[in-house]
Structure 1
Amino acid sequence: MNSAEPARLEARIDLAAVRANVRRMREVAGPAHVMAVVKADAYGHGMVACARAAVDAGATWLGVALPEEALALRAAGLTARILTWLHAPGDAFADLVLADVDISVSGLWALREVTDAVRTTGRPARIQLKADTGLGRNGAQPRDWPLIVEEAVKAQKDGLVTVTGLWSHFACADEPRHPSVAAQLAVFRDALALAETAGLRPEVRHMANSPAALLLPGSRFDLVRSGLASYGLSPAPHEGSAADFGLRPAMSLVGRLALVKQVDAGHGISYGHTYYTPRPTRLGLVPAGYADGIPRTASNVGPVWIDGQRHTIAGRVAMDQFVVDLDAQEAGVGDEVVLFGPGDRGEPTAQDWADRIDTIAYEIVTRIGPRVPRVYLNA
């Protein structure tokens, strides 16, 4: 969306920041390539626009979780290599094959469905084998790895697939001294050695997500997957801020005051009256709520910025609105309310919100809902 008139609430996405962040990750990871992870609508930033910005900045791969995300990128004209990794039986594997999408395989059922799709389409598939090195989610366990490698080698010899990658994912990369990090790297290296002995020569081997790419040089291999870092947020806030890592937040969430009114001391605010005005004061109504992705847990703690002053949400966040106690500030209807942004002017950041409600910045930006328009800057 691009409009001269601001919406009641809008997410302003600075695509110049996305490009700069991807270039920063290329600089950090080199000579390894960068995959920009654009799943979940690019962590709430807008998948297609951010994918284009990332490719412009030199990302050679795009990463998504779901088949429909990969197909949407192809439909939008993105020609970069795309890896999709979260599948269920019956997914559109034939469509992925026809769209030249690399398909992650974590189990024999998936390999069988991919090869069935190849026979249906008459076109070979590109696949990547994922090893579970200790995260305990997707990927083949070490005891199952030899068999899945064996079956993939057979399928490749039969001309059904090309194994383009071998990969895994960390459990605690944001805690670089956690003992699981070294343990997982050792398991991954064993998995690579077994696959190489079996005859696989993949284009890319990758394990590093954003925090690993920034903090664990030994994990970069041929490719790093830049998710949160592409959007300028620190993936390891206990190790360094976004600025410390040379990143710039790309999203600013901005609303407007829809009502300003004077109330007496002791006035209860919003559902449950969890906040009472401590003095005669002015209240500002912001037309944004948990239906837009504003966490209800931000009730009485969420920070906002209005014309140079910080305030805290007063009372409970409702479905479509929340209230700010303006105290003596002379704010008026239509004035801009910054929920979070880069922090340049003193406004809260997504990390500030995460700290206030005891979550992670990933959740703050990703949960911003579809009824909040994305306005792209520096396109």
Structure 2
Amino acid sequence: MNEHTTEESGRLRAHIDLPALRANVRALRERLTGGAALMAVVKADAYGHGLLPCAREARAAGAAWLGAATPEEALALRADGDTGRVLCWLWTPNGPWRGAVAQDIDVSASAPWALDAAVAAAHATGRTARVHLKIDTGLGRSGCAPRDWPALCAAARAAEATGAITVAGLWSHFACADEPGHPSIAAQQTAFTEALEIADRAGLRPEVRHFANSPATLTLPATHYDLVRTGISVYGLSPSPEIGTSEDFGLRPVMTLRAALAGVKRVPGGHGVSYGHQYTTPGETTLALVPAGYADGIPRHASGSGPVLVAGKWRTIAGRVAMDQFVVDLGGDTAEAGDEAVLFGPGDRGEPTAEDWARATGTIGYEIVTRVGHRVPRVHHGETRT
């Protein structure tokens, strides 16, 4: 168990199946082509699963790289004793560039100011900064605009010549790899090929070229290059129902969210339930109180739609989700306070999955797991290191 779990935290827990995470990493590695290595992306507290335990297990299963969005995440990995390759990509001008370079963290640059920051950090620390140049091939978020790419490559090569940096990587990110056949996929592949050619003419010889996210890793082997960046698939969720289910790819969901019922009572027909009385009991029935709400990350828009396994059956949230609790109508079934309610899990015990919640609430599985709040203890099972 995770050391942060306490006896008082039994109302709601996120159980994290670390053997499943390791198996997912191994299954993803088996799909790689051309000798590509795997990066396990552990941003956003490992997609809500717990940054440090999941990072350790991904390493144990053969992840050659870890990926972090924020510098704080990357530095936390180093503080935990991780000495392998870590890439951090979400930078601002006043970020801890010096600390990252001092800790041998690979950094990303999409513009001259970021390259200058990496060079300054290298000078300040006396270390060579490892930089990954990012090209915007069509996602329209971070990344150098194609018209500015030749100048950025030239500036990076000049900085390399001084010994301040080494261009360790060239990379980009897909916009629609989770939508098979989307025209942007081929367009982005062409743009990336052109960007690599420009970098080569500028004299850059990167250690790794990387483009593939989880959906591209699973469905576009030509985009594996030297490294793939797998995020949601590490945690056993499919990036999109359109490309296949978790089971289709040999992946197992890692998180199971369980609660202990906080109360059970009989009420008459016509009884209003939760704020606004959006649900009224159709007849005499049994109501069960689940002590989880939007402060824990349960979507408020799951009101009247979120699925829960209680007393051996799927139930639907009755009425509005409140800050700390919601209600399910058990009909003619019975339960007792303390009985288990399973909000989502792998699905092999009949419980809903995160994808079921995503469908019920009009979102994606990524959001369901990452929004589980910090007041919900993570209980990590099957760690290889204690």
Which residues of 2 match residues 103-252 of structure 1 at below 5 A? 103-252=107-256
For residue 140 of structure 1, what is the amino acid of its counterpart? C
For residue 22 of structure 1, what is the amino acid of its counterpart? V
TM-score, scaled to structure 2? 0.97
Residues 1:64 and 2:68 are matched in the alignment: yes
Give the equivalent residue in structure 2 for 1:10: 13
1:351/1:361 contact within 8 Å kept: yes
Per the TM alignment, residue 378 of structure 1 is displaced from its structure 2 partner at its CA by 1.1
**Equivalent position to 2:39, from 35, 41, 47:** 35
Per the TM alignment, residue 266 of structure 1 is displaced from its structure 2 partner at its CA by 0.8
**Deviation string for 1:212-265 (max 9, x for gaps)?**
000111111111101000000000211211000110000000001000011000
The 2-side partners of 1:347 and 1:133 are apart by 40
1:11/1:374 contact within 8 Å kept: yes
Per the TM alignment, residue 116 of structure 1 is displaced from its structure 2 partner at its CA by 1.1
Give the equivalent residue in structure 1 for 2:314: 310
Structure 1 unaligned regions, length at least 5: none
**Equivalent position to 1:81, from 65, 82, 85:** 85
1:285/1:321 contact within 8 Å kept: yes
Per the TM alignment, residue 307 of structure 1 is displaced from its structure 2 partner at its CA by 3.4
Per the TM alignment, residue 4 of structure 1 is displaced from its structure 2 partner at its CA by 8.5
Query: May I ask how many residue pairs the two structures share in their alignment?
Result: 379
1:297/1:357 contact within 8 Å kept: yes
Helix, strand or coil at the partner of 1:244: helix
**Deviation string for 1:179-221 (max 9, x for gaps)?**
0000000000000011111111111101000000001111111
Give the equivalent residue in structure 1 for 2:27: 24
RMSD: 1.0
1:176/1:216 contact within 8 Å kept: no
Helix, strand or coil at the partner of 1:294: coil
Residues 1:258 and 2:262 are matched in the alignment: yes
For residue 303 of structure 2, what is the amino acid of its counterpart? S
Residues 1:100 and 2:104 are matched in the alignment: yes
Helix, strand or coil at the partner of 1:185: helix
Residues 1:339 and 2:343 are matched in the alignment: yes
**Stretch deviating more after TM superposition (27-36 or 296-305):** 27-36
For residue 191 of structure 2, what is the amino acid of its counterpart? V
For residue 74 of structure 1, what is the amino acid of its counterpart? R
Structure 2 unaligned regions, length at least 5: none
The 2-side partners of 1:206 and 1:35 are apart by 10
The 2-side partners of 1:160 and 1:119 are apart by 7
The 1-side partners of 2:180 and 2:221 are apart by 11
The 1-side partners of 2:125 and 2:83 are apart by 20
1:13/1:45 contact within 8 Å kept: yes
For residue 27 of structure 1, what is the amino acid of its counterpart? E
Per the TM alignment, residue 118 of structure 1 is displaced from its structure 2 partner at its CA by 1.2
Per the TM alignment, residue 176 of structure 1 is displaced from its structure 2 partner at its CA by 2.4
Runs of 4+ in 1 over 3 A off after TM superposition: 2-6
The 2-side partners of 1:248 and 1:80 are apart by 26
For residue 159 of structure 1, what is the amino acid of its counterpart? G
**Equivalent position to 2:329, from 302, 311, 325:** 325
The 2-side partners of 1:176 and 1:305 are apart by 33
